Amino acid sequence: MLGYKIYFNGDKFVADNTATEVQTMPCDSTVSWMANKTYADNVVEKYNANDLKDVKKCKECGKYFWQTNDERIWFTDRNMKAPCRCYSCRKKKH
Domains: count for the chain: 1
Q: Please say whether the beta carbons of 64 and 10 come within 8 A.
A: yes
Q: Please say whether the beta carbons of 31 and 25 come within 8 A.
A: yes
Amino acid 20: pLDDT: 92
pLDDT values of the chain reduced to their tens digit, one per residue, 94 residues: 899 999 999 889 999 999 999 988 777 788 999 999 999 999 999 889 887 878 889 999 999 998 877 888 898 899 998 888 988 898 887 7
Best CA proximity match to 7, nearest among 83, 68, 90, 23: 23
Structural domain of residue 60, as residue ranges?
A: 2-93
CA distance 33 to 49: 19
Report the run of H or E that residue 7 belongs to, with start and end: strand 2-8
pTM of the model: 0.73
